[in-house]
Amino acid sequence: MKLGDAPWTAIRDALATGEPVVAILPCGAVEAHGPHLPLATDVIISDGMADRAAAMLETQGIRAFVLPALAFAPANYAAAFAGTISISTAAAKAVLIDIAKSLREQGFACLAIANSHFDPANVAMLREAAAEIGALGLAVAYPDFTRRALASRLTEEFVSGACHAGQFETSLVMADRPELVDESRRSALEENPSSLVEAFARGATSFAEAGGPHAYFGAPRSATAAEGEQSFERMAEALANAVHEALALA
């Protein structure tokens, strides 16, 4: 299911069947996620979501390939932290549009966007890109977890907005890449109840202004791999459902 691991002939043969073939693009960022999680946390989460959604789609009779992750995105809120790499919204959208054009020309039926990087600039860019990709004639599936209907399917912490590198994201990384979680630091972190949603609304422009001087929000110490697996399943299900809806409208 990993497009980058397959020979080109496997993609050719899949496209030649005449059945719809879906490309799933994990979208993340390289940015600070507290002192206990890796900079690539969002990439790890989006990859995990994409892999599980692809497996779901395969069992439902839809061929799906997971593209190599798009690891760079607008990440202005974390820009003050070492290791964070933020790119412009224009650059990020241009890459997405070009990827979509290439997929459409080859005969892919749908581009599914698996995103777990919720910087406001990135979310706005993805919404614009999804609309433009659809206008190009390629079906696009983009479950936007910042929308209330989808957010409510996830955890209480996620809904609260105090969820960057907290219980929600830490649980997800523990489910897929536990070796990258610094347990000694995680166990020493006090809960930070500051809500990023509320901070965005009042005009905060950085994690520090939002009340996260160490680039985490929420309760990392309460994270579990079991919770992470449950969240992965719900996110993957939302992505698979979005693919079905997009194909039905195509």
Degrees, nearest 5: CA angle 191-115-152: 60
- Into how many domains does the chain fold? 1
Largest CA distance in the chain: 55
The answer to whether 204 touches 186, Cβ cutoff 8 Å, is no
| pLDDT per position as a tens digit, 79-94 | 999 999 999 999 999 9
Which domain does 124 fall in, by range? 3-249
pLDDT of residue 250: 79
Average pLDDT over residues 225-248: 98
Mean pLDDT estimate for the chain: 97
The predicted pLDDT at position 205 comes to 94
Whole-number Å distance between alpha carbons of 84 and 247: 36
pTM of the model: 0.97
d(CA 48, CA 230): 12
CATH code at position 103: 3.40.50.10310
Q: Residue 92's closest CA among 77, 73, 78? A: 73
